[in-house]
């Protein structure tokens, strides 16, 4: 079945440093979604990318969808302590729509002040 892999599993950074997490799917995706889960919280939807090569920005966060629509990345510029949490990518298992999401294992970000 479809697999979504994420690296790294865990990243420590000093506040102000940049952070990147990478996501790879075993199959071509109709879209890729990113979620953030704060410690003790629930996954919160951040963004969805649909087009090949698409790049979207949310303040200090930059999301990219690969040309082949099999990989994606999330880059955070100048991390802050509020960025702490686990970042998950997820892709629909199927042609999209309301298909179930297959989640990556997540990248846990720790930010030291």
- Nearer CB in complex with another protein: 77/108: 108
Among 106, 107, 109, 111, indicate the residue that binds another protein (CB under 8 A): 106
Q: Which residue's CB is nearer to another protein, number 66 or number 92? A: 92
Q: Which two tokens stand for residue 104?
A: 């990556």
Q: Report the C-alpha gap between 71 and 6 in whole angstroms.
A: 10
End-to-end CA distance of the chain: 41
Residue pair 30/95 in contact (Cβ under 8 Å)? The answer is yes
Q: Does 97 bind another protein (CB under 8 A)?
A: yes
Binding footprint of another protein on the chain (CB under 8 A): 31, 33, 35, 41-45, 48, 88, 90, 92-93, 96-106
């Amino acid at each position: 079945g479809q697999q979504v892999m994420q690296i790294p599993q865990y990243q420590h950074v000093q506040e102000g440093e940049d952070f990147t997490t990478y996501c790879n799917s075993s199959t071509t995706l109709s879209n890729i979604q990113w979620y953030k889960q704060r410690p003790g919280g629930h996954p919160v939807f951040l963004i969805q990318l649909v087009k090949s090569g698409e790049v979207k920005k949310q303040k200090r966060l930059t999301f990219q969808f690969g040309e082949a629509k099999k990989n994606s990345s999330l880059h955070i510029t100048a991390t802050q302590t509020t960025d702490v949490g686990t970042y998950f990518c997820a892709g629909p298992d199927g042609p999209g729509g309301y298909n179930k999401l297959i989640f990556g294992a997540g990248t846990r970000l720790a930010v030291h002040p």
